[in-house]
Amino acid sequence: MTTALIFLPLAGALLVWLLPLPGRASGVLATLIALAEVALFAVAVGRFDFGESLQLVDRQSWFSDLGVSYHVGFFGFSLWLAGLTVVVCAAAIGYATWANRERARAYHGLLLFLTGSIVGVFAAQDLLVFYVFFEAMLIPLYVLIGVWGGERRAFATVKFVVYTMAGSLLMLASIIVFGLSQGTFDLVDSGVSSNDWVFLGFLAAFAVKAPLFPFHGWLVDAYRESPSEVAAILSGVVSKAAVYGLFRIAIAKFPEPVQDFQVPILVAATIGLVYGSLLAFRARDVRSVTAYSSMAQMGLIVMGLFSLNELGINGAILQSVAHGLVSASLFLLAGMLETRTGTSAFARLGGLARGRPDLATVLLVVGIIALAVPGSVSFAGEFLILAGIYAEGWGWAAIGAGAIVLAAMYMLRLISAVLHRSRGEAVRDEALDLRPAELAVVLPLLAALLFLSASPNSITERNFPIQGSDGVEAAR
Amino acid sequence: MIETPSVDWFALSPTLALLAAAGVALLVSVIGPAWFRRAFAAFVVFAGFITAGVLAGFLFARTPDAQPLLNESMTRDRWAALAAIVLAGAGALSVLVSWGETRRDHAGEYYALLAAAGAGMVFFVGASNLMTLFLGLEWFSLALYILCALDTHRETSLEAGLKYLIVGSFGSGILLFGSALVYGATGELGFAEIAAAGVTDDSLLLAGLAMIVAGLGFKASAAPFHMWTPDVYQGAPTSVTAFMSAATKVAALVLTLRVLTVAFPEQEHLWTVAVAVIAIVSLAVGNIAALVQRDVKRLLAYSSVSHAGFMLIAVAANSELGGRALLYYLIPYSAMSIGSFAVVAARERELGAPVTLDNLGGFLWERPFLGASMWVFLLGLMGMPLTGGLVGKFYVFSAAYESGWWWLVVAGVIGTAISLYYYLRVLLAMWTRPEPTAFRPAVAGGSPPRDPLLASAVFASLAVTVGSFIFVQPLIDLARDAAASLPF
């Protein structure tokens, strides 16, 4: 089941690359495959028993002398992250089809390949398998940004890849040391370690991927130069690979180092939260605001994880899903704005609400959920995170709550700069409201957000197993 | 009357098959009609490599325990047999890559020399005596010297041949001198006998050991003995470069580990450190020098220096796992190396000019199959997933860590990080269309020449590169059986 969930998009990618279909048709095929993936995910949820620990396991020895096996499966929380992936990626592929990108076959194939590797990351229960999928994500991202990106794409991709790979390679060294000292690379079979250096190696990879302050140098360039649907996946989903890694590996396998480094990590996360929010408030275009707010939100999520209690971690998972949906919607909307006006700069936008009710409504609703209005899923997530971190010290919670006010400031600024005020010079009268196809891409994401807002406990009550013998339990 | 030793012809059969192919090809290129020579020689040599590979496979299967050969001057064991299989595969692929090279002169001789070089290497990896070692080394080196200089109308080819000849002879000389010193210290030539002589701290022996390591380092193009590599790789005909980059490295590294573990177990504390230092220097020099290259063949040459460094990490580990790691690494490495040079060869034939980062522009879109394959090879050399390069690095680092060389792991990781930059430049170049001003149309009009044999060689390399990632266990089992022949 899990294997099918990973390899359906990968096989789909191969199919899209090899079939000589014209551009649009290949996009439609890719969208259908992505929708089939969503359906498959729904089946997986149906078969999943949320009372139990690791499930839907597939295991096959890969090379036995070092104890490496292809071992995949889902926990409750990782199933939600995988769900986020398939939904956001399906929306992104649908949007890419509608936007009719050049070299469509290559493009859609790469998006499918990316989908499969991200699902693989969330399913990996073996360190080498995790590394393989973690790195495999990088290849399509590199090409997607490098070929289809904006003006400064070459710079952005090299920066992105060098940052990420530097972290990943440290992780590879850590994986080898951890695996050899444990005698197995399996995440379920292996015990815990107290080696600080190995922990830091893992932390480096996840801190870059998230990104955590001060490893965010690649973020804005990559988010700004990507095609909008790639930015949606990058900020919405790929950053959550870091969440999975931090929780499943760093926290679960290194209980002692986690305690030792809790305060420095919380400091970095808090700085990221506040600094990111301030940068978002100062940013001058839709994409930069979304990018920096993403960094701020990742800081908040890491705070939740490193509160090291169930409330905080539960909130971090919920917030990961919520932020993934919000951020993906915002980047897709940014793309839609750009196709209409050719820019996402606030100085040249404004007054788009007039005569464009659908666009205004969608952007407003997403924006309001993003600023965590009470009753929204983001509010639930942030509340849980703050409640969790409060147990570690009221100061953390106070700073966190303050930063959430900043979120309101930058989101409202974004909404007003785009929708209201006088008409911007880039906004022509002919600029259309959202087309049905665009609505079809955004509305499912919005519906998911609204559903989760109505019942956030459909995730929070299904994150953790009641009992289990593996490392995730040790982290709680 | 001198008693003739009994000869195990089966053990020598891979070498003999290649020698026979070389002889037949050479004969036909002298007496056959002109139109017949090239095709016939290519076919015979290809068949020779395949036969040698199959025979080596039988040899592997039927040699569970190592046996001495020819008065203990050679060894019949799985270590040599597996290396011979890899060598034969590399040779067969090189023949396919070479076919599209429309050489009018010396076409038959080219293939004959290729087979002769292959025979020398297969002989070399089985050596268990300093004399046979030197004999094998000179045998394949002489063939390679000529192959490098074969395009006599190109100045760079002649330069490459001459440079390789001079520097290579220097390396061989050092190796021979080292062998003489070891003989002087121990009175023995056989690897096992040297170890059994029990001389430990003799300065003569240690000087000899150092010189043997240096001499083999020349052939493996490990820094600081790599000076010839970029010039020779750049100047030699690209198909020869493809063969050299894979096969010479296989032969030299496989034999390095054998001679060090069998003949010098007592000096282990010295040579592991020496090899580790050479590995680090190779990683540093190869990766840093590659950063500034514009010529793709030169860039790949420096990349091969850095890969020698990676594989020497496995040698320095001096463990059974290290031997396994080395043999495993050599399989995807050979495929990636031959594959990438094959793609360069295709582009070179298309342009009629040396391939640089500039004129590689747009290659991915013009020739999707070759371009995508090049991507896979380069990603593999980087150590990215879905290629055996990742598993190879994983094994090498694991072996190093297991033997306590954690700083070699760190060096390898840093080396890999640096290497990303230049591999990414090639990847980037392939998808970026050249500026109209810089664009030089291909010499001939129309679509690029079809070369199904080259394409099939690229496809085979691709299959090995990706297949070695998926089917790790069977390959590791082979490597384990092979490494069991060496005394660790």
Least confident of A114-128, A155-169, B2-16, B450-464: B2-16
The per-residue pLDDT for A474 is 43
Residue A258 domain flag? no
How close, in Å, is residue B162 to chain A by CA atoms? 39
pLDDT of residue B4 exceeding 80, the answer is: no
- Give the pLDDT score at B446: 57
| Nearest-CB residue to A161 (from B393, B406, B420) | B420
Q: How confident is the model at residue B378 (pLDDT cuts 50, 70, 90)?
A: very high
pLDDT per residue over A257-279, tens digit each?
Answer: 999 999 999 999 999 999 999 99
- Residue A163 counted as domain residue: no
CB proximity under 8 Å: A 381-410 to B: none
A chain contacts of residue B403, beta-carbon cutoff 8 Å: none
User: Does the distance separating the beta carbons of A161 and B473 come in below 8 Å?
Assistant: no
CA contacts within 13 A on the Cβ side of A334: 28
What is this model's ipTM? 0.90
In a domain, A317, yes or no: yes
Q: Classify residue A376: in a domain, yes or no.
A: yes
- Chain A CB contacts of B406 under 8 Å are 177
Residue contact B413–A62, C-beta within 8 A:
no
**Alpha-carbon dihedral B115, B120, B125, B128, rounded to 10 degrees:** 150
**Burial category of A111 from C-beta neighbours within 10 Å (exposed 0-12, middle 13-18, buried 19 and up):** buried
CB contact at 8 A, A169 and B387:
no
Q: Would the pLDDT of B71 be above 90?
A: no
B413 touches chain A (CB under 8 A): yes
Is the pLDDT assigned to residue B274 strictly greater than 80? yes
For tokens 């195990």, name the residue.
B8
Among A135, A146, A165, the residue with its CB nearest the CB of B417 is A165
The angle subtended at Cα B241 by Cα B236 and Cα B243, nearest 5°, is: 135
Domain that includes residue A445, residue range: 265-468
Residue B421, chain A, CB below 8 Å: the answer is: yes
Placement of tokens 């680090």 in the chain: B280
Distance in Å, alpha carbon of B58 to nearest chain A alpha carbon: 25
Question: Tens digit of pLDDT for each residue in B239-272?
Answer: 999 999 999 999 999 999 999 999 888 888 889 9
Count of beta carbons in the 10 Å neighbourhood of residue A191: 11
Q: Would you say residue A336 lies in a domain?
A: yes
Question: Which carries the bigger pLDDT value, residue B49 or residue B487?
Answer: B49
Taking 50 as the threshold, does the pLDDT of residue A472 lie above it? no
Total domain count for chain A? 1
- Which of A136, A170, A180 is the closest to B413 by Cβ? A170
With cut-offs at 50, 70 and 90, classify the pLDDT of residue B435: low
Asked whether residue A205 is domain-assigned, the answer is: no
Span A441-447, mean pLDDT?
92
Q: How many CB atoms lie within 10 A of CB A469?
A: 11
With an 8 Å Cβ cutoff, are B384 and A61 in contact?
A: no
A231 within a domain of the structure (yes/no) = no
Domain for residue A47, yes or no? no
Residue B452: count of CB within 10 angstroms of its CB:
11
Using DSSP, state whether B111 is helix, strand or coil.
helix
Q: What mean pLDDT comes out for the span B162-178?
A: 92
Does B398 sit within 8 Å of A162, measured CB to CB? no
Question: Which residues 315-374 in chain A show a CB within 8 A of chain B?
Answer: none
Verify whether the Cβ–Cβ distance A176 to B397 is below 8 Å: yes
Q: Return the structure tokens found at B183.
A: 């003989």
> If contacts are CB pairs under 8 Å, which of residues 35-74 in chain A contact chain B?
61-66, 68
Read off the amino acid at residue B263: A
- B189 φ/ψ angles, rounded to the nearest 5 degrees: -115, -30
* Interface probe with A: pick from B420, B435, B466, B475, most Cβ of A within 10 Å: B420
Chain B, residues 272-331, CB within 8 A of chain A, namely 321, 324
- pTM exceeds 0.95 for this model: no
- pLDDT at position B327: 93
At residue B441 the predicted structure's pLDDT band, cuts being 50, 70 and 90, is low
> Given an 8 Å threshold on Cβ–Cβ distance, is B386 in contact with A66?
no
**Backbone torsion region of residue A128, taken as left when φ is above 0, otherwise alpha when ψ lies between -120 and 50, otherwise beta:** alpha
Interchain CB contact of A103 with B (< 8 Å): yes
Spatial separation of the C-alpha atoms in residues A196 and A201, rounded to whole Å? 9
Q: How far is B413 from chain A (nearest CA, A)?
A: 6
Alpha-carbon distance of B131 to B124, in angstroms, equals 10
